[in-house]
Amino acid sequence: MAIAEQQVTDDYAVYLGDCIETMAALPDTSAHLSVYSPPFGGLYHYSSDDRDLSNANSREEFFDHYTYVVKQIARLMMPGRIVCVHCMDIPQTNGGVEVLYDFPGDIIRLHQDYGMLYTGRNQIWKEPLAVRNRTMMKKLAHKTIVTDSSRAGIASADTLLTFRMKGENQIPVVHPTGLDRYAGAAEVPAELHRYRGHVGHQIENRYSHWIWRRYASSVWDDIRLDRVLPFKQARDEDDERHVHPLQLDVIERCVQLWSNPGETVLTPFMGVGSEVFGALELGRKAIGIELKPSYYRQALRNIAEVGKPIVEQPDLFAFDSADDSAEQNAETE
């Protein structure tokens, strides 16, 4: 297959093709940061293409293929730089009980096998009722607490794993006047705005300190789940109902924290272009690769909107049927 289509400019290069084959043609140590969300093995099926990792017949087969992806990322990354992987525990059923598979744990071990040092895990908080309404998980239903709370559970957070490539970083990622942009629902207190862009001693930069304390927290509790790029036009008839892009707040935090302006951000699973869009919005360059043609076309449309106001997708967690709505109403009464 190699590359079926491509769009290359001075600021970005996006490809329609298999990410393993496409990355293999890119030069060594050409990426300063990688941000991506792999297919959640066994949870969603994104296309009927045999090359799609989501179509693996088993967990073992998924990781056999995924290994080639991680191997290429490791080759493309510069020493000492950061790889960010968005993932989650995978819900499953065991004997009629809703249980979880530790997908992040296997991702950590795979990246460690290829010279990446595991450095952190941010949990992206999700409101339990919204998760219940979207997934219809019985363990999150209030009636489960009433009838048998041994079968009740929690609304699992999304996870952002961070890895540092082995070796010395030759180009420090610097913020001479601190952090001057916040990606999240919370608002920087008004009295701190006078410190934004502070050029003096950075211990006095209370604006940047406020942002850093929130970014350095292990729990990101104000990620705007509906601040995503348009994606519904990219859906094919056989798509899973609940597939949606990575939130821009998550991407912007990664790009701001771990890359310098003008550097290159790599994403091997581009989807509708979220990581490319987030990188370009913050003055970086980007390389994105996508296997599915409808996602690739939507990514091109989204990338063309860089610099314009983002239209949030408020129906991201809307019910998919009248039956879902009726069940939710019954649950909240």
pLDDT category, 82, cuts 50, 70, 90?
very high
Flag whether pLDDT at 317 surpasses 90.
Answer: no
Per-residue pLDDT at 89: 93
**Helix, strand or coil, per DSSP, at residue 76:** helix
- Summarize pLDDT for 234-283 with one digit per residue, the tens: 555 555 444 568 999 999 999 999 999 999 999 999 999 999 999 999 99
Integer angstrom CA distances of residue 207 from 113, 194, 210, 314: 39, 8, 5, 30
pLDDT category, 1, cuts 50, 70, 90?
low
What mean pLDDT do residues 11-40 have? 96
In the block, tokens 């952002």 appear at 160
pLDDT category, 329, cuts 50, 70, 90?
very low
Q: Nearest to residue 231, comparing CAs of 160, 292, 159, 319?
A: 292
CA–CA distance, 207 with 304 (Å, rounded to integer): 32
- Higher confidence at residue 83 or residue 236? 83
- Higher confidence at residue 118 or residue 231? 118
- Higher confidence at residue 99 or residue 304? 304
pLDDT category, 297, cuts 50, 70, 90?
very high
Specify which residues 17 forms β-bridges with: 3
Q: Is the Cβ–Cβ distance between 83 and 32 less than 8 Å?
A: no
Per-residue pLDDT at 320: 37
φ and ψ at residue 28, rounded to 5 degrees: -55, 150
- Burial class from Cβ neighbours inside 10 Å (0-12, 13-18, 19+) for residue 264 reads buried
CA–CA distance, 262 with 284 (Å, rounded to integer): 4
Q: Nearest to residue 7, comparing CAs of 19, 15, 266?
A: 15
φ and ψ at residue 7, rounded to 5 degrees: -135, 115
Which one-letter amino acid corresponds to residue 200?
G
What mean pLDDT do residues 189-217 have? 97
What mean pLDDT do residues 306-321 have? 62
CA–CA distance, 327 with 329 (Å, rounded to integer): 5
Q: Nearest to residue 231, comparing CAs of 103, 23, 46, 86?
A: 46
Predicted model pTM: 0.89
**Helix, strand or coil, per DSSP, at residue 112:** helix
**Helix, strand or coil, per DSSP, at residue 77:** strand
Pairing type for strands 158-165 and 116-124 reads antiparallel
What mean pLDDT do residues 26-30 have? 97
Flag whether pLDDT at 328 surpasses 60.
Answer: no
Flag whether pLDDT at 326 surpasses 70.
Answer: no
- Summarize pLDDT for 112-146 with one digit per residue, the tens: 999 999 999 999 999 898 888 877 888 999 999 99
Q: Which domains does the chain have, with CATH numbers?
A: 3-332 (3.40.50.150)
User: In this predicted structure, which of 33-47, 81-95, 288-302, 314-328 has the lowest mean pLDDT?
Assistant: 314-328
With a CB cutoff of 8 Å and minimum separation 6, the contacts of 309 are none
Which one-letter amino acid corresponds to residue 179?
L
Tokens matching residue 310? 């983002």
Integer angstrom CA distances of residue 118 from 44, 60, 113, 267: 26, 22, 11, 19
Pairing type for strands 31-36 and 12-17 reads unpaired
Pairing type for strands 12-17 and 3-8 reads antiparallel
User: In this predicted structure, which of 42-46, 77-81, 188-192, 223-227 has the lowest mean pLDDT?
Assistant: 42-46
Flag whether pLDDT at 162 surpasses 90.
Answer: yes
Flag whether pLDDT at 79 surpasses 90.
Answer: yes
pLDDT category, 44, cuts 50, 70, 90?
low
Q: What percent of the chain has pLDDT over 70?
A: 85
What mean pLDDT do residues 32-40 have? 94
Average pLDDT in the chain: 88
What mean pLDDT do residues 217-225 have? 96
